[in-house]
Amino acid sequence: MSQPVAAISIQGLTKDFSVTLRGVKLRAVDALNLEVAEGQVYGLLGPNGSGKSTTIKIILGLLDATVGDVRVFGVPANRVEARRNVGYLPEAPYFYRYLSGRELVKFYARVCGVSGSRLRTRVDEVIDWVGLSGAADRRVGTYSKGMLQRIGLAQALVHDPKLIVLDEPTAGVDPVGSAEMCELILKLKQQGKTVLITSHLLAQIEDVCDRVAILDRGKLIVEGSVLELVGQRDRQALIVDPLPEADLEALRGWLAARGHSLNAVEQPRARLDQLFLSKVSRPGRPGGASAGVGSNEVPLDAKP
Amino acid sequence: MSVASVPFSFSRLSLIAGNTFLEAVRQKLFNFLLLLAVGLVASAQFFREFNFGSSELKFISDFGFGALIFFGSALTIATTAQLFFSEIENRTALTLLAKPLWRAEFVFGKFLGVFAVIGVFCALTIGLMMALLWHREGQLMNIRPEDFANGRLIAYGDLLVVGVLQWLKFGVLAAIVLLIASFSNTNLFTVVTGFFVLVICHLQYLARDAWGNVDNAVLGLVVRALGFIFPNFQLFNLADQIGQGSGLSPVVALQVAGYAVAYIGVIGGLAVYSFRNREI
């Protein structure tokens, strides 16, 4: 029985750029090995200049590898055929300002070979899916950054690709727009799509990714599932109602008698972005100023 | 692993061309140059006292072609460079080339979009010039009927053919600018180099006449090679032949058109080859 083909397979990828006329090279990616299985949400993290965008461009066939083998669903990434199953949302996307959102998505759909009756239904479907039905006939030049990200996601999805590459999808977007983008990514995961994301906003990556890889100066530093990498398996957190000091002492004694210790007593905190989202009104959602920190609308972080 | 190939698609090519055309006609530069050229052609009738000895109708025709060539060249270079670099600088090329699209489709789509824009410019300018000539010729037929005993003097069909040949010449120029843009990093470099090449293409026949038959074989070869590499734009200046003898020869017109198409094909192919290796 043949093994399932990885959505993205990168073997020994090195990319050098000539930075002077004398041929001095800058190594952007250094001997990178990476495999993204189908159906995963995979985060590619790293500081500026770590090689994330270069890696993405090589996956998309926009750059050629200096050394190494990059495949998308088994097809060499530099072949046009590899891009059939790929949707791409670039960082801070800029689209043809003179087209309406619907015209823009239709244009990209036709470039991807979507035609006939499917063209219209598919365009309407993805515009509705990203929540832009009300603004679809407005010119893209009038869109906010969040709306540009969403129309960008619509154009990336219009040909129903199996792999979606999102380069900094929440960069420059307010927390509401970021949260909506994360929700859309989770929906894509539910649909069985493979998603490759780069981001600086690590908290968001942590929320949506199954696995992450951290790059630094072109090299892979860490790779693994989010749980493996950030979970503390030798510790547990219990969240209880506030205890009086006497009860705490009794609990310490009870734990000590069993060979355990109470390492920290802290008040759990909501994350600031969660607080923000509960306070700010979001289109089509209840909430806003009436929701308080103590209300149930602010999920508490499990970590003390 | 075997996968179905993505064939070259004229549908995608026309999509890119259509979008390029739409972008161009919404630019102020295109509308400005079009208005300027049309205004200049229209004003030719007010300058007929300055016809420098040639016939009045000939003056209007020369003035019109002068405006077409000058503004058409400027429009071709500026628009081609601008439309190409707007895709690169705004990173819309990233989104587009991340789709199952051949780079050849992108380059030829850009070319066809620009070629269509220049076509509209040429059609409007030549159309206005012909209307002016027709109108003025009608007036002169009433004033001096003896000069028009055999009917109208101007061969309007020939004027149209020369207009089409100028359009093809601008097509060659657009292909050259695309070739420069395919490896250049800036819009400014592309525009400046484009204007230099335009001047070379207009004047290369002088170098060929002066140096092509010198005794030095190497120098002669270099001059002939340069004359081959840079298309000779003087071949397209057939407006002077209109109204002389039997008029414009269809064979010559077809040869010049073939010359332009051949250069467009070869230079366009080089632009595709260069752009294929470009890192976006």
pLDDT tens digits along A233-242: 778 888 888 8
Residue of B6, B15, B100 with shortest CB distance to A107: B15
Burial of B120 (0-12, 13-18, 19+ CB in 10 A): middle
How many angstroms separate the CA atoms of A210 and A208, rounded?
7
pLDDT per residue as tens digits for the range B148-170: 877 788 888 889 999 999 999 99
Contacts of B12 in chain A (CB under 8 A): 110-111
pLDDT bin (cut points 50, 70, 90) of residue A304 is very low
**C-alpha distances in Å from residue B152, one per residue of B139, B156, B243:** 11, 10, 11
Q: What is the DSSP string of chain B?
A: ---------HHHHHHHHHHHHHHHHTSHHHHHHHHHHHHHHHHGGGGGGG-TTS-HHHHHHHHHHHHHHHHHHHHHHHHHHHHHHHHHHTTHHHHHHTSS--HHHHHHHHHHHHHHHHHHHHHHHHHHHHHHHHHHHHHHHHH-GGGGTTS----HHHHHHHHHHHHHHHHHHHHHHHHHHHH-S-HHHHHHHHHHHHHHHHHHHHHHHHHTT-S-HHHHHHHHHHHHHS--GGGG--GGGTTSTT-S-HHHHHHHHHHHHHHHHHHHHHHHHHHHT---
pLDDT bin (cut points 50, 70, 90) of residue A76 is very high
How many angstroms separate the CA atoms of B248 and B238, rounded?
8
The pLDDT of residue B246 is above 80: no
**Under CATH, what is the fold of the domain A8-230?**
Rossmann fold (3.40.50)
| Residues B60 and B243: beta-carbon distance below 8 Å | no
Mean of pLDDT values over A250-274: 86
Contacts of A165 in chain B (CB under 8 A): 98
- How much is the ipTM here? 0.85
pLDDT per residue as tens digits for the range A17-49: 987 777 778 899 999 999 999 999 999 998 888
Q: Which residues of A22-42 are buried (b: 16+ CB within 10 A; e: fewer)?
A: eeeeeebbbebebbbeeebbb
How many angstroms separate the CA atoms of A98 and B61, rounded?
38
Burial of A5 (0-12, 13-18, 19+ CB in 10 A): middle
Contact between chains at A64 and B5 (C-beta distance less than 8 A): no
pLDDT bin (cut points 50, 70, 90) of residue A268 is confident
Tell me the one-letter amino acid at B90: N
- Pick from B44, B92, B78: nearest CA to B64: B44
What is the reported pTM?
Answer: 0.85
The percent of residues above 70 in pLDDT, for chain B, comes to: 93
Contact between chains at A80 and B12 (C-beta distance less than 8 A): no
The percent of residues above 90 in pLDDT, for chain A, comes to: 56
The angle that helices B10-25 and B28-43 make with each other, rounded to 10 degrees, is 70
Average pLDDT, chain B: 87
Chain B contact probe: residue of A55, A111, A155, A168 with most B CBs at under 10 A: A111
The shortest C-alpha distance from A183 to chain B (Å) reads 23
> How far is it between the farthest Cα atoms of chain A?
75
Residues 6+ apart with CB under 8 A from A68: A10, A11, A12, A13, A14, A31, A32
The shortest C-alpha distance from A47 to chain B (Å) reads 21
Residue of B1, B94, B100 with shortest CB distance to A80: B100
Contacts of A107 in chain B (CB under 8 A): 15, 19
Contact between chains at A96 and B96 (C-beta distance less than 8 A): no
Least confident of B70-84, B201-215, B220-234: B201-215
How many angstroms separate the CA atoms of B270 and B97, rounded?
19
Among chain A residues, CA nearest to B8? A80
| Residues A139 and A99: beta-carbon distance below 8 Å | yes
Contact between chains at B100 and A98 (C-beta distance less than 8 A): no
pLDDT per residue as tens digits for the range A121-159: 999 999 999 989 999 999 999 998 889 989 999 999 999
pLDDT per residue as tens digits for the range B31-70: 887 888 788 777 776 766 655 555 778 888 888 899 899 9
Least confident of A63-72, A88-97, B53-62, B118-127: B53-62
The pLDDT of residue B261 is above 60: yes
The position carrying tokens 């977007």 is A173
How many angstroms separate the CA atoms of A130 and B41, rounded?
51
The pLDDT of residue A291 is above 60: no
The shortest C-alpha distance from B29 to chain A (Å) reads 16
pLDDT per residue as tens digits for the range A160-217: 999 999 998 888 778 888 888 888 899 999 999 999 999 877 777 788 999 999 999 9
Contact between chains at A93 and B102 (C-beta distance less than 8 A): no
Tell me the count of A-B CB pairs closer than 8 A: 81
Domain spans of chain A, in order of start: 8-230
The pLDDT of residue A288 is above 60: no
Contact between chains at B1 and A74 (C-beta distance less than 8 A): yes
Average pLDDT, chain A: 86
The shortest C-alpha distance from B3 to chain A (Å) reads 7
| Residues A81 and B5: beta-carbon distance below 8 Å | yes
The pLDDT of residue A295 is above 60: no
pLDDT bin (cut points 50, 70, 90) of residue A296 is very low
pLDDT bin (cut points 50, 70, 90) of residue B138 is confident
How many angstroms separate the CA atoms of B97 and B218, rounded?
44
pLDDT given at position B268: 96
Q: What is the DSSP string of A246-283?
A: HHHHHHHHHHHHTT------------HHHHHHHHS--T
Mean of pLDDT values over A79-87: 94
Under an 8 Å CB criterion, which residues of A touch B? 5, 17, 57, 60-64, 74-75, 79-81, 83-84, 86, 88, 90, 93-96, 98, 107-108, 110-113, 152, 155, 159, 165
Contacts of B9 in chain A (CB under 8 A): 113
Contacts of B16 in chain A (CB under 8 A): 111
| Residues A175 and A140: beta-carbon distance below 8 Å | no
Among chain B residues, CA nearest to A113? B12
